[in-house]
Amino acid sequence: MIGYTVIRYHSQLLTEFESTVCNAFLARRKAEAYRKPEIERRARERWGNLGDGGIDAVLERGYDEFRRSVAKRVMGEHRGPVILNRCQQCSRIVQTPKAKQCFWCHHDWH
């Protein structure tokens, strides 16, 4: 969840390469949703950065692993500006930095 939070709400702290990997991952996932081979191929070529060895290598290890490594780097370098909003009851990270209800235990602190 930390990797998701860092990438989703603190993307300004990502390197240019990390941002490119995120965009390529999203483009590839969207291309899969077309379910028409020609459209999928064109979308992957145009936005998915196909053939970029660095991006392909990172995504081959898996997007979850990529998110964890980005979160670890960002938390190590930029601890101050990263807001991890945690539930006051169960201490899990909630959905957004401004959330006031826990998705996990349903505790509400409005």
pLDDT tens readout for residues 39-64? 777 777 777 677 788 988 998 899 99
Q: pLDDT per residue over 3-24, tens digit each?
A: 889 999 999 999 999 999 998 8
Confidence at residue 22, expressed as pLDDT on a 0 to 100 scale: 92
Residues 89 and 44 in one domain: no
Residues 34 and 64 in one domain: yes
Residues 71 and 20 in one domain: yes
- C-alpha distances in Å from residue 100, one per residue of 31, 65, 82, 104, 105: 35, 28, 18, 12, 12
Confidence at residue 55, expressed as pLDDT on a 0 to 100 scale: 87
pTM of this structure:
0.76
Averaged pLDDT, 85-96: 93
**What's the gap between Cα 23 and its chain centre?**
10
Beta bridge partners of 108: 101
- Identity of residue 74: V
Residues 41 and 88 in one domain: no
